[in-house]
Amino acid sequence: MSDVENVQDLMAHAYAMELEASERYSEFADVMATHNNREVAELFAKLAKIEQLHAGQILSSMGWTQAPAPASGDYRWLGMERPETGDHTELHYLMTPWHALKIARVNEERAHQFFGEIARKAGSAEVRAAALEMESDEAEHVRLIDEWLARTPRPETDWAHDFDPPQYHD
């Protein structure tokens, strides 16, 4: 990525990713709460808090007292979606915690790949080292989600079947 020229730019990207992930998980929690899927809503709220903590850790490690401005006026990501941000189309009102964790795992894996790509294209040893550290952190997040998934029951094959679907009457 050509817009990551120094560690400050890299960490500004990392901060934006974590903050956006927190905001998206909060949105997901709200959607699930609206559909009375409290268990998944609580899990997304927990994931939002974890991502918010990661954002705070970045601010602290960089000695920043407020969010950094994007170096180039905006962030450029590797794909259409931000690396650690889930897509609203992945939600289903009957989804289970297992599904929520699968979304989180994909997001963490994309973040891992994002930092790996920056490390491979880095123009300086300092940026490469910082990107490799972030890549390692994201790999650890993937591992932790995998552990969480291993403890979470898989849904039944008919999990999306609503035995009492909503009815609309005039």
Task: Give 19-45 as a 3 state SS string.
Answer: HHHHHHHHHHHHHHHHCCCHHHHHHHH
Token code pair at residue 84: 């650690």
List b or e across 7-30, with b for residues whose CB sees 16 or more CB atoms inside 10 angstroms: bebbbbbbbbbbbbbbebbbbbbe
Name the more confident of 133 and 169.
133
pLDDT at 73 over 50: no
pLDDT at 23 over 80: yes
Q: What is the pLDDT of residues 91-104, one digit of tens each?
A: 788 888 999 889 88
Q: Which of 144, 42, 51 is nearest to 96 (CA)?
A: 42
pLDDT value of residue 160: 81
Distance CA 39, CA 32 (A): 9
Query: Do residues 91 and 28 touch, judged by C-beta distance below 8 A?
Result: yes
pLDDT at 143 over 80: yes
pLDDT value of residue 86: 67
pLDDT at 32 over 70: yes
Name the more confident of 40 and 77.
40
pLDDT value of residue 35: 87
Fold for domain 7-72+81-150? Answer: Ferritin (1.20.1260)
Q: What is the pLDDT of residues 115-142, one digit of tens each?
A: 999 999 998 999 999 999 999 999 999 9
pLDDT value of residue 15: 92
Average of per-residue pLDDT values in the chain: 85
Q: What is the pLDDT of residues 47-61, one digit of tens each?
A: 899 999 999 999 999
State residue 72 phi and psi, 5-degree precision. Answer: -110, 15
Sorted by where each begins, the domain ranges of the chain are: 7-72+81-150
Lowest mean pLDDT among 35-44, 103-112, 155-164: 155-164
pLDDT at 78 over 50: no
Name the more confident of 75 and 69.
69
- Helix-helix angle 97-121:7-34, to 10 degrees: 170
Q: Give the contacts of 90 (CB within 8 A, at least 6 positions apart).
A: 103
Contacts 24+ apart (CB under 8 A), 53-57: 54/18, 55/15, 55/18, 55/19, 55/22
- Ranges of beta strands (E only) in the chain are none
